[in-house]
Structure 1
Amino acid sequence: MTEKLTIKAIKELLIDITEETDERMIKLQKDSRKGVVSAIQSWKRQQEKALKLEADYQRMLEFEHNIWENDLAYIAGIDEVGRGPLAGPVVAAAVILPQDFHILEINDSKQLSESKRDELYEKIKAEALAIGIGIKDERIIDKVNIYEATKLAMIEAVDNLTIDPQYLLIDAMVLDLPIPQSKLIKGDARSLSIAAASIIAKVTRDRMMKEYAMEYPGYGFEKNAGYGTKTHLAGLAEHGVTPIHRKTFAPVKNML
């Protein structure tokens, strides 16, 4: 029967097949045409990728599952972006995901392309129970130092949640809040809630820096997000320090 199907028709048929034990797949595997063999091999690679994505997804929910099992439904994952740049704010996000949340490919925002971050950002915003954002600009950073400013941004993000969290999962930080919490080193690669927060924070800050790029052209903020790239340093040398530069960060400090 499959011998009469075109390669295009077989590829379309494979889209609906999810198990190798499917009778249609068993019949297709008897087809020796090179195009069919190639299509089946491609299908198998896609299935392996899907299985790995699901396995990674379940691994990143282990912390959440352990907490949910203790009748704590509202877990806020917290992460920040922007500790290292020479310009712009530090941005933190707190995200509470529902227990039936199931969006694959969520990972540490640094491991994702910009287009994938934007795609996941919209999906997370649509399905999260609550999202809080905290922003501390260069004035606060210069006043209290970047580490303390990061803490303040994270606390602000928690305060801006519309649901009171019962537990906090925080990327490499402990917050002075009366809420049970866990500090996870490299948490954005270990906890789905933290990874979701990292995406929200990253996209939020990148969009802010693109707006600053229009206000302060010549530094490449739209591409470097305020980090000390060659273009940024050349802009500093040519145009000087802007109001959004961190005055306590070298080399900005050395130019004042």
Structure 2
Amino acid sequence: MRARLALDTARILGLPEATNIAVAAASELLHNASLVHDDLQDGDTTRRGQPALWARFGAASALCAGDLLLSAAYAALVSAATSRTGRAVAVMHEAVAATIAGQVDDLSATSDLSFERAIDIAGAKSGPLIALPVRLCLILAEIEDDRHVMRAATLLASGYQIADDLSDLEGDRLAGTTNIVATSINAGHSVSSARARAAAYARAQLAASRDAARTVPRRAGLPLAALADRVETGLAGMRVMEADHAT
């Protein structure tokens, strides 16, 4: 997803192909580094239907692999050197630091986590690396005005996480893992009320994300808006399945 965001944004801005590939590779390497470390920290034993790296090769190897992916991301970014590369590297560090801060908040969350706080954490944890490919493309196109990108990505990240948690609600409750929808149930909402509340909130987040994305200069936010559309389509599909199940 992040590589596709980079490629689509870079093409809109008319960046050279080597730059497109460098930003896409850096963005995807960073994301995969975060997944390796996230699985290790959360104790998740599977990833996309396969054993998590730490579960198969051990925690020490997974930690080293995640660090290697993180370092490789910087190498990928500087492979297409331009006069703006230094600024791009600084912004990538900023995104990594913000992601780590969001992860710390997630790991520190307690069982009485509120619905609103869970959404804030989801946006803080995932938004920076969703925004990053678009921000890097803007910087390398010599456009400094990226103030709407982070808002669009943070809203998209929280909407996406709500949709994911709606899908994973039963499994997460059994496993005792953090789930945005479950926070409403823990606060006294019925399951159906919690689902409806979460879905409505996700749709509002995604709509606001699209609005912010469409204000990014030179139409560079359109790939973000398209991604928000795809997440909302998935939400609609879940509503259809729930209705079929109810009948």
Task: Give yes or no for TM over 0.5.
Answer: no
Return the structure number with greater relative CO, CA threshold 8 A, min gap 6. Answer: 1
Higher helix share: 2
TM-score, scaled relative to structure 2:
0.25
Higher strand share: 1
